[in-house]
């Protein structure tokens, strides 16, 4: 009987420890944006590789990044990443949409390249968490 009283709390502790990440609420902090300067150039400007990763178990839609002054000499697929006109961003300026408002899933990062004289400071502005 005493052994049972020791095993059950240990099992509950282990269960909580193993699944701690899934019990955490997803937020905009769950989305990581990294950009790396590549060795390549386009129109004399460095090329930057951007990777947007959802680190949450739930998908996130309507992912908006702050992207002040985003412009590029390379063509970027607008369904992957594009600046939003103020009328699509509730009057806000300097916002870009990721994946055309569609879900960004954990394990499936969104990637693109852009070229500009200096990197654009990209940061997560907002998203909609979709847990069911």
Neighbours of 19 (CB within 10 A): 10
Q: Give the neighbor-by-neighbor strand order of the sheet with 110-115.
A: 31-42, 45-54, 110-115
**CATH fold label, 26-130:** Immunoglobulin-like (2.60.40)
**Residue 124 and residue 78: Cα distance in Å, rounded?**
18
The pTM of the full predicted model, rounded to 2 decimals, is 0.80
Q: Which residues contact 45 (CB under 8 A, 6 or more apart)?
A: 73, 115, 116, 117
Per the CB < 8 A criterion, the answer to whether 94 and 85 are in contact is: no
**Residue 88 and residue 82: Cα distance in Å, rounded?**
12
Q: Which of 21, 19, 6, 16 is nearest to 106 (CA)?
A: 21
Backbone dihedral region of 44: left (phi > 0), alpha (psi from -120 to 50 degrees) or beta?
A: left
- For the stretch 38-83, pLDDT in tens is 999 999 999 999 999 999 999 999 999 999 999 999 999 999 999 9
- For the stretch 90-104, pLDDT in tens is 899 999 999 999 999
Per the CB < 8 A criterion, the answer to whether 111 and 8 are in contact is: no
Per the CB < 8 A criterion, the answer to whether 116 and 43 are in contact is: no
The pLDDT, as a whole number, for residue 77 is 98
Domain boundaries, the chain: 26-130
């Amino acid at each position: 009987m005493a052994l049972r009283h020791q095993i059950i709390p240990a099992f509950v502790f282990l269960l909580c420890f193993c699944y701690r990440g899934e019990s955490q609420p997803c937020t905009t902090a769950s989305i990581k944006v990294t950009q790396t300067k590549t060795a390549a150039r386009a129109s004399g400007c460095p090329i930057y590789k951007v990777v947007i990763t959802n680190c949450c178990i739930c998908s996130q839609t309507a992912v908006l990044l702050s992207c002040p002054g985003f412009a590029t000499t390379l063509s970027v697929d607008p369904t992957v990443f594009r600046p939003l006109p103020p009328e699509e961003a509730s009057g806000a300026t300097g916002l870009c949409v990721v994946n055309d408002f569609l879900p960004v899933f954990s394990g499936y990062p969104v990637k693109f390249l852009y070229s500009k004289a200096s990197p654009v400071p990209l940061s997560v502005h907002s998203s909609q968490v979709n847990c069911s």
